[in-house]
Amino acid sequence: MNTQKTFIRYTFCIISSIACTCAQAALNDVLPADYFPLAEGSTTLAAYTYDRQAQGPYSKGKKLLNGNIDTQIVALRLAHSLLLGDIPVALLSTLPWSQNTVAPTQLAGLLGAGARGTGDLRLGVTGWLLNHRDSGDYLGITGILFVPSGVYNSQQAFNVGENRYKYTLNAGWIHPLGGSYILELLPELAWFGDNGAYVGGHTLSQKNAQALTGYLRYRATANWQFHLGAQLNRGGATRIDNVAQNNPSDNNRQMLGATFLTDDKKNQWLFRVARDTEVKNGFSLGAELMLRFMTRF
């Protein structure tokens, strides 16, 4: 009987850990110079590719299982810039697609062997409160709605789509430090709707989450820039059928990358590597490789 109770408790901890992974990192992956406002009428199309290797899950800082989730993501983001009076505004839409593989068999049996398909559509708008091109200071505010349009299987815990609405309020501040160095601070607040079809009909709810991303960018030449980044994530604890899981994300992440801009200023390549340095709950990002190509027309 005690063995059965231990197994049930262990299984519940595993499923609880996957419930908080969506709050493990800032929901919007903002990259260096993303809060630089483009000229009125500009349209950009960006293609992202990610390769992620995550280990865990963890609960309260302890590793529960030597599991792995391998993820490949492709995402497209379309943005259009315009002016509302004197305020620069950008309209944003992002659509991701991913494939995920869960291993070993023990973890796959609890969460599902994997998930593949289109993720939730993101629709957003950014407005700039500061737009000082002479000094290089910029401050933008972004609101984004996550629409539950992605592929979702209510019979397993791990999915591409989340079957719920999400909302984020983001800000981006760019400030030159002198010379060729630039500081960027990017806070985020996230709110979550309920998923009433979680793992066979349970209800998943989630507290709001907070994130803060910072970049130090170095402009080496007119074409090349390099950056160091760090991210803090807090909050986002979940409830399943109104039972608190006590699983806030509370994780930290580090990033390193480079950007290449073509001479005509119309095409940009950005490469980044990232890893988690501390994880309390959920899965730890052991390695991430990201490549983005963005073109302006």
Domain positions in the chain: 2-296
Distance from C-alpha of 171 to C-alpha of 5, rounded to nearest angstrom: 46
With b for 16 or more beta-carbon neighbours within 10 A and e for fewer, the 267-293 pattern comes to ebebebebebeebbbbbbbeebebebe
Q: What is the pTM of this model?
A: 0.91
Instruction: Assess whether pLDDT exceeds 60 at residue 105.
Output: yes
Q: Is the dihedral of CA 26, 28, 31, 36 positive or negative?
A: negative
Closest CA to 145 of 169, 173, 163, 128: 169
Please say if the pLDDT value at position 22 is more than 60. Answer: no
Q: Which CATH number fits domain 2-296: 3.40.50.300, 2.60.120.1030, 2.40.50.140, 2.40.128.130?
A: 2.40.128.130
Assess whether pLDDT exceeds 70 at residue 18.
no
Q: Are 151 and 117 in contact (CB under 8 A)?
A: yes
Q: Kindly indicate the confidence band of residue 6, based on its pLDDT and cuts at 50, 70 and 90.
A: very low
How many angstroms separate the CA atoms of 17 and 240, rounded? 11
- Average of per-residue pLDDT values in the chain: 91
The answer to whether the Cα torsion of 92, 191, 215, 293 is positive or negative is: negative
What does the alpha-carbon distance between residue 172 and residue 143 come to, in Å, rounded to a whole number?
12
**14 pLDDT above the threshold of 90:** no
Whether the predicted pLDDT of 114 surpasses 70: yes
